[in-house]
Chain A
């Protein structure tokens, strides 16, 4: 009879790493999404071109290849990262590229009328963006950001390929040591699901909070 408590403990340690990757990766993704997304609506051609290059490159190549680049190829350029740093960087840049298009789309969705009101009220472009456009665009971004965050969570599994001991990696270890596939993979299945459930719940809460007051009685 196998003593599972030790093995489950191992998987839970992996869950912490997955959680860490998800939180840090998402944080980087949000920063990249806003930076590149706002750069995409810049008036400067150079800034727009730079952002477009970033977005197309990271959307157009596989996360798996990106991760290997960051972890195995960058050292040749003298940049050596820990597996966690490499994972966060690859995941954040990858998902941030998708997020940038979400930011751009939402900002564009706030129509001409709001922009013209800003001009008529003599707000600067920065003030319009900060006080009028972004606060209205943010609730539009949230549902897609929620998708992206869940994608990122599930994408963390690829880091097991650069020997980072995340949840999936630990499940493989347990499988190898016990010969049992059902239990470790059922456990991580449930854990992945619970984590994504928490993400989607909190995003929905955030969305409700942000749109409060926007839907009036008479519309």
Chain B
């Protein structure tokens, strides 16, 4: 059995008086596809944001790919990570956002090539070649010269996926990537993610309200509520035979709201 690629140990996250994550611990194996589900405010998005170092943590430790994420060696023990250390750790992780967050002043191709050229010192020609392969994979090669404002939401999100992949992260985080899309555009993004899951051995963490997709995509489902993991297991077990009452109530509500399982 290989070591976990992500080891989250007793993480606490507070916003002022509000405790969002309350001593959360979890592990993710290399190559695992994980879906985080649960009501809004349950802390599932916060976990992704913490892994991307977009938040600070109030307590606990996280290990990613064998190294501490928020702490680095120093003073004979561990000290808070500095910017340079975080930069090295971020290389391992990529993230796709709910609202795409493309750079509106750069064309599709430049959105994808920018980070590899700046952070990895890739030559433009090599970066563009790689970017075109990725854009081809997400079906956006013909829009390489378009500006983001000319694209639909689904197209923007596919570009955002290609952009995150361009840095070849070991771990990809997807934060409600279809929530901001018109219903008819959801499927094109999910198809790209299915393809990604089947063609690569990247570790993927997905926060989603698309239960049907979570069921097909994930090796394991984590059900979050109030900053804790209430229940976890294989998709069939969670969706067909949830043990905890809170999971059952949540799934009933979701189904009543018209989401497929």
CA distance A123 to B83 in the complex (A): 11
Contacts of B95 in A (CB 8 A): 120
**A124 touching B87 by the CB < 8 A rule?**
yes
- Answer whether residue A176 sits at the interface, using C-beta atoms and an 8 A cutoff: no
In the complex formed, the residue of B with least CB distance to A125 is: B83
Chain B positions 89 through 104: 1 when the CB is less than 8 Å from some CB of chain A, otherwise 0? 0110111010101111
Contacts of A116 in B (CB 8 A): 52, 54, 97, 101
**B149 touching A219 by the CB < 8 A rule?**
yes
Task: Bin chain A's interface residue count.
Answer: 20 to 34
Query: Given A217-B150, A218-B151, A218-B152: A121 and B115 within 8 A (CB)?
Result: yes
**B119 touching A122 by the CB < 8 A rule?**
yes
Interface residues of B in 70-118 (CB under 8 A from A): 83, 87, 90-91, 93-95, 97, 99, 101-105, 107, 114-115, 118
**A120 touching B94 by the CB < 8 A rule?**
yes
Q: Which of A23-31, A131-139, A201-209 has 4 or more CB atoms under 8 Å from chain B?
A: A131-139
**A119 touching B150 by the CB < 8 A rule?**
no
**A216 touching B148 by the CB < 8 A rule?**
yes
**A127 touching B118 by the CB < 8 A rule?**
yes
Contacts of A136 in B (CB 8 A): 103-105
**B115 touching A113 by the CB < 8 A rule?**
no
Query: Given A214-B147, A219-B149: A120 and B103 within 8 A (CB)?
Result: no
**B90 touching A119 by the CB < 8 A rule?**
yes
Q: How many Å from the CB of A89 to the closest CB on chain B? A: 35
CA distance A122 to B102 in the complex (A): 14
Chain A positions 81 through 123: 1 when the CB is less than 8 Å from some CB of chain B, otherwise 0? 0000000000000000000000000000000011011011111
Q: How many Å from the CB of B177 to the closest CB on chain A? A: 13
Contacts of B91 in A (CB 8 A): 122
**A121 touching B167 by the CB < 8 A rule?**
yes
**B99 touching A120 by the CB < 8 A rule?**
no
- Answer whether residue B53 sits at the interface, using C-beta atoms and an 8 A cutoff: yes
**B105 touching A121 by the CB < 8 A rule?**
no
Contacts of A132 in B (CB 8 A): 103
**A216 touching B147 by the CB < 8 A rule?**
yes
**B104 touching A119 by the CB < 8 A rule?**
no
- Answer whether residue A215 sits at the interface, using C-beta atoms and an 8 A cutoff: yes
Contacts of A119 in B (CB 8 A): 52-54, 90
Since A119-B54, A214-B147 are in contact, a sample of 14 more A-B pairs with Cβ atoms closer than 8 Å, ordered by chain A residue number, is: A113-B97, A113-B101, A117-B101, A120-B90, A120-B93, A121-B119, A122-B115, A131-B114, A136-B104, A214-B105, A216-B149, A216-B151, A217-B150, A218-B151
Give 10 closest A-B pairs by Cβ, nearest first: A216-B149, A117-B101, A121-B115, A216-B150, A120-B95, A122-B90, A213-B147, A113-B101, A122-B119, A135-B105
Chain B interface residues (CB < 8 Å from chain A) = 52-54, 83, 87, 90-91, 93-95, 97, 99, 101-105, 107, 114-115, 118-119, 147-152, 163-164, 167
